Structure 1
């Protein structure tokens, strides 16, 4: 787990927020470098990431290295007091690698090859890529391992963003080795994959291939194992580079995760323990109906990966990106608000892609701290203002977010739930997770994101959305948590299969029948666009099921649809706790209403219960005090009556006027602050303590 405080990266004696960007001096000449450094100082930049895509500059031909320009840039940054997050340069191979070793190129699920010209054009299992990339890392780490400017090592970049799944023959051989290590014997593999179906029994390891496109639906066990393997292969590349670095340097090592709605191929719960600190890249996704809620979810998930500790936002955009169908620019003030949403949820460092906007290449219309328009621009002024704001937020650095509600989420469940041949293609895992998260957020409560199997004892309420595959140990954890007095909410299509995605017989939801006090004999999915009404005023879509209470209280039943009179929402006492089951896809307001009832029975309140509902409040606590991040999510200015110092405005008062879309960060006066800071992820916290925010 993480060991390096983000706020101590630059100066361990004086914790502070890091602030900066990806810096790509290879795109410019030395005269621009000097101007860049002067402007970085003006903007308050104290950490830049360099050499992210430097391989072709450092090794233009095999074995021919040139570090002169990187040497000069590092010295210039150091002379001006700007620290460096140094990339290994392996994010994309140079053109000569594919020219000399075409077998390193990645192959897609349809068997076609992808070529150089973009980025990440390599097979993650390629021994040639591994050898050549590590040779570069060796030279870089040896040369800069103790350079005084370097404060963080950045392995590769957004590992697996484009090439996470490679289906080539090299990958197939690596997949077979991985399978043998995981399953041990062919008998165990055949049992895990259910190969008795459709004559798929394997009698030799050599017969197993990667799951390329088939003429029918494929084997789900093979598909899930291939996703596990692919995540592990990329993690293996990280580990190999980190091992080389650590031979030459004691500086912390990490890479930038991509906790976002469109990235699902890395199981970051498996990766987190290898990081010296957790870093994430996040960009507002305007393809989604609610980009800000997805931002909040991603930030809370990143904090979960950090075990509740502060983390680093390694990339975001000052304004528009370049890779969405409609690249929407940020409105005035939005840069500050979006950044504070990350900081409120635990980020102790903020960086952008990138420092100076490129004038060539595929990302030339991606926004930057220093845009094409130069310093006479909204983006530049807001970047400078943000640097000053983070400086005023210095007391917040190192504090932790307070939460008493957990939502269970995992990448492996995402892979499994979204496989084909399920009862309804409209049941999409991340959509269900986002819906549950949005409903909780609508009540103003802060949510920790935890992995399946996590210790839940610190939480007053735990929500489990669409957890289709549930291993025995995970199911036992839910039962123990509830029996000990916890409050559990489970939504439909959960608990259906075991850890090998094998259907549990005897009635759905399999592993969770006892704790929920129900049994379902058959699913009744709805047609696209079809809805049903419930007798409590709710409506629902996508899913119904023939459910029988087995001790559970019925809270709502269907009025129409295929199952009139059948229970749709139940509540069950299990030991000293309570478990709810939502057997259908409730409309958003009804989902929020039912989760609100569960929150109330669990004793969970907003951090400021009397505040206006349009004020979202998130609390961080630490040795330096108690801090409330207050966001105005409504359309009118609102006043908050609370004595404290607003670190954003730099003023102290008893009332605070917050504009629509605005944010205040209130440092409470000592007599209002709790002298015993409460942090999330603390299993020793008592039930009473975790309920009282």
Structure 2
């Protein structure tokens, strides 16, 4: 399926909210979009109250006029179903359709995402508004894509959720005996004798059951996916040739398995909001882009949202320096995105996000920000052909949503584990070495990779374990770090040495977990250092690559090992390596590329993208790129 329908070249634009502005602004918007090279905008994402001011009463006249103006201006529309923010009349009429927190607090209207995806009234209202939009706009010439909902991730612990959860559990386990076994129900007298005894995970006096928590996230993921499918199918029936997507948002709080969801969309759409003001913003952008491309599995994907002029860090918004907006956009385009989209087009005068940076600032077009927007938008047609070439990678990092969920602050772990940081650290060091990587699902196809890295893949199913065994036996090099395969898909410990039952693959047994004091580093012989977490390992055929040089129990014990297996080899890292130690390991594995620290270099067929984030000139091959600039080189055949 071609996408977006009727939009040539790279997509450029963002969320457009004309309902927030008087109509005399709309013509100015279209004129400015044409000046900036905008060819696609998302419309209607949060417009439910305007589209359906009263239940069953619709006002589409304003949207008709907006879509007409955009079409006349040559701008395609990514038309959204507005179900992420129900209108006030709905929540007043259906208070049971509001989400409930784990402590039982009923959230109230007044923000976004005030809905319970399990509530029948909400599901029915969502289908109804989607059907009205489909019936009116399926044949509209401006329609380039459908955009279902927005940033799925709002969890509810309501009675509706509990009833649906029990149905899901009965389908999964069939019997209470099987559920009690999977959840290790004999601990703390948690065996259930009736299905109705099972609740959504609630705020409790002490620790909750990790298997219960993990299953509830899986269930919520499927419930939200069902909500997406209901709307998608309505839209598909009305307009079979128009692509349909929803935008992934990234966060540990989001119970979305992106591998699972990506099978259900026509293109993967991703919202990238780095959370650090320094060079980590570029690192996070590259991580996001490689994840999105990998979720898409070779199919189209699009950067649907980013902030134009600021970075939203924990310390508040930080302004992007000149050129940084273009460089962040190019990180995504170089790594596979079919364009660069933003939130939002015009900065709002009021509302909760009135200070969110936009393509058109409050001060209007005569601003540095808008001049950058115009300059970048007019440069994109010159590289449109390059973006059709595939991004090739020979190295994959495993991405396990369930490991992220299961380690997200759960106190039953042997120590505090930051799964995302462990993944990001490996990705960052490989990027600094100029190595472009894919991500892969633990149960996914690993056949095209020479090296697969499993960073703290805590939850490892039997199927995933066998997949890693097959990959290594066939000639691959597997690198796994501490706590990989600690538990199975039910959060039950793999006994006999952990490792997902793969002690023969790695040629070791893990005997003990040895969390270390924060801020202290354990030296490794000729290999850098380890921090925060170590394991006591017993060799069972593997060779010791380096040992711990310090530490009472672990001194002179194996820290990194390698074991031949079939045609390949399995490496095990029994600790949280510091950056220099990972760099030495990747040097030993001969993982090298053309890049420099602070300079992204990504090859796509004959095209080479070079993005210089440093304050010095950089030369890659024959190309010299000024400080803070980017270039695209077409190499000779």
| TM-score of the pair, normalised by structure 1 | 0.89
1:572 to 536, 541, 563: 563
RMSD over aligned Cα atoms: 1.7
1:55 aligns with 2:51: no
Residue 658 of structure 1 is matched in structure 2 by: 625
Q: Is the 1:423–1:523 Cα contact (8 Å) retained in structure 2?
A: no
Residue 417 of structure 2 is matched in structure 1 by: 427
Which whole-Å CA distance do the structure 2 matches of 1:333 and 1:29 have between them? Answer: 32
For residues 319-358 of structure 1, the aligned pairs below 5 Å read 319-320=309-310, 324-358=314-348
Please give the per-residue CA displacement for 1:319-344, whole angstroms capped at 9, x wherever unaligned. Answer: 12668532011101111111100001
Structure 1 residues 49 and 207 mapped into 2: Cα distance closer, same or farther (>3 Å)? Answer: same
Q: Is the 2:157–2:200 Cα contact (8 Å) retained in structure 1?
A: yes
Structure 2: tracts of 5 or more residues without a match: none
Q: Is the 2:335–2:602 Cα contact (8 Å) retained in structure 1?
A: yes
Which whole-Å CA distance do the structure 2 matches of 1:518 and 1:558 have between them? Answer: 16
1:141 aligns with 2:134: yes
For residues 266-285 of structure 1, the aligned pairs below 5 Å read 266-285=256-275
Q: Is the 1:482–1:575 Cα contact (8 Å) retained in structure 2?
A: yes
Indicate the SS of the match to 1:628.
Answer: strand
Which whole-Å CA distance do the structure 2 matches of 1:584 and 1:190 have between them? Answer: 33
1:630 to 579, 588, 610: 610
Please give the per-residue CA displacement for 1:415-454, whole angstroms capped at 9, x wherever unaligned. Answer: 1233524454332211111111112212110000111111
Residue 648 of structure 1 is matched in structure 2 by: none
Which whole-Å CA distance do the structure 1 matches of 2:436 and 2:135 have between them? Answer: 44
Residue 32 of structure 2 is matched in structure 1 by: 39
Which whole-Å CA distance do the structure 1 matches of 2:388 and 2:601 have between them? Answer: 19
1:584 aligns with 2:575: yes
Structure 1 residues 305 and 441 mapped into 2: Cα distance closer, same or farther (>3 Å)? Answer: same
For residues 113-192 of structure 1, the aligned pairs below 5 Å read 113-160=106-153, 163=154, 165-192=155-182
1:9 to 5, 10, 18: 5
Which whole-Å CA distance do the structure 1 matches of 2:90 and 2:337 have between them? Answer: 37
For residues 371-390 of structure 1, the aligned pairs below 5 Å read 371-390=361-380
1:395 aligns with 2:362: no
Deviation at 1:255, TM superposition (A): 0.6
Residue 497 of structure 2 is matched in structure 1 by: 507
Q: Is the 2:152–2:224 Cα contact (8 Å) retained in structure 1?
A: yes
Structure 1 residues 287 and 380 mapped into 2: Cα distance closer, same or farther (>3 Å)? Answer: closer
Residue 498 of structure 1 is matched in structure 2 by: 488
Residue 97 of structure 2 is matched in structure 1 by: 104
Which whole-Å CA distance do the structure 2 matches of 1:537 and 1:226 have between them? Answer: 42
Q: Is the 1:310–1:400 Cα contact (8 Å) retained in structure 2?
A: no
Residue 414 of structure 1 is matched in structure 2 by: 404
Residue 253 of structure 1 is matched in structure 2 by: 244
Alignment: residue pair count: 635
Please give the per-residue CA displacement for 1:14-60, whole angstroms capped at 9, x wherever unaligned. Answer: x5111111110001111100111111111111111111111100111
Indicate the SS of the match to 1:524.
Answer: strand
Indicate the SS of the match to 1:401.
Answer: coil
Indicate the SS of the match to 1:327.
Answer: strand
Residue 92 of structure 1 is matched in structure 2 by: 85
Residue 507 of structure 2 is matched in structure 1 by: 517
Residue 684 of structure 1 is matched in structure 2 by: none
Please give the per-residue CA displacement for 1:257-304, whole angstroms capped at 9, x wherever unaligned. Answer: 11x355532111111111011111111212788222111111100001
Structure 1 residues 613 and 70 mapped into 2: Cα distance closer, same or farther (>3 Å)? Answer: closer
Please give the per-residue CA displacement for 1:543-590, whole angstroms capped at 9, x wherever unaligned. Answer: 122211111111111122131111111111111111111101111111
Which whole-Å CA distance do the structure 1 matches of 2:495 and 2:82 have between them? Answer: 51
Structure 1 residues 140 and 28 mapped into 2: Cα distance closer, same or farther (>3 Å)? Answer: same
Which stretch has the larger CA shift, 630-639 or 225-234? 630-639
Indicate the SS of the match to 1:551.
Answer: coil
Deviation at 1:101, TM superposition (A): 1.2
1:22 aligns with 2:29: no
Which stretch has the larger CA shift, 288-297 or 391-400? 288-297
Which whole-Å CA distance do the structure 2 matches of 1:281 and 1:66 have between them? Answer: 29
Residue 680 of structure 1 is matched in structure 2 by: none
Which whole-Å CA distance do the structure 2 matches of 1:383 and 1:487 have between them? Answer: 44
Structure 1 residues 567 and 46 mapped into 2: Cα distance closer, same or farther (>3 Å)? Answer: same
Deviation at 1:512, TM superposition (A): 2.5
Structure 1 residues 420 and 614 mapped into 2: Cα distance closer, same or farther (>3 Å)? Answer: closer
Which whole-Å CA distance do the structure 1 matches of 2:208 and 2:386 have between them? Answer: 51
Q: Is the 2:472–2:478 Cα contact (8 Å) retained in structure 1?
A: yes
Which whole-Å CA distance do the structure 2 matches of 1:536 and 1:499 have between them? Answer: 37
Which whole-Å CA distance do the structure 2 matches of 1:322 and 1:636 have between them? Answer: 26
Residue 255 of structure 2 is matched in structure 1 by: 265
Residue 76 of structure 2 is matched in structure 1 by: 83
Deviation at 1:123, TM superposition (A): 0.7
Structure 1 residues 46 and 263 mapped into 2: Cα distance closer, same or farther (>3 Å)? Answer: farther
Which whole-Å CA distance do the structure 2 matches of 1:122 and 1:200 have between them? Answer: 30
Which whole-Å CA distance do the structure 1 matches of 2:51 and 2:300 have between them? Answer: 34
Deviation at 1:196, TM superposition (A): 1.4
Q: Is the 2:290–2:438 Cα contact (8 Å) retained in structure 1?
A: yes
Which whole-Å CA distance do the structure 1 matches of 2:545 and 2:483 have between them? Answer: 19
Indicate the SS of the match to 1:499.
Answer: coil
Q: Is the 2:161–2:200 Cα contact (8 Å) retained in structure 1?
A: yes
Which whole-Å CA distance do the structure 2 matches of 1:592 and 1:472 have between them? Answer: 31
Q: Is the 1:10–1:18 Cα contact (8 Å) retained in structure 2?
A: no
Q: Is the 2:207–2:412 Cα contact (8 Å) retained in structure 1?
A: no
Q: Is the 2:434–2:596 Cα contact (8 Å) retained in structure 1?
A: no
Which whole-Å CA distance do the structure 2 matches of 1:110 and 1:640 have between them? Answer: 55
Q: Is the 2:507–2:563 Cα contact (8 Å) retained in structure 1?
A: yes
1:476 to 466, 484, 501: 466
Please give the per-residue CA displacement for 1:580-611, whole angstroms capped at 9, x wherever unaligned. Answer: 1110111111112112212x1xxx542x4xx6
Deviation at 1:508, TM superposition (A): 2.6
Please give the per-residue CA displacement for 1:137-173, whole angstroms capped at 9, x wherever unaligned. Answer: 111110001111101000011122xx2x211111111
Which whole-Å CA distance do the structure 2 matches of 1:175 and 1:84 have between them? Answer: 37
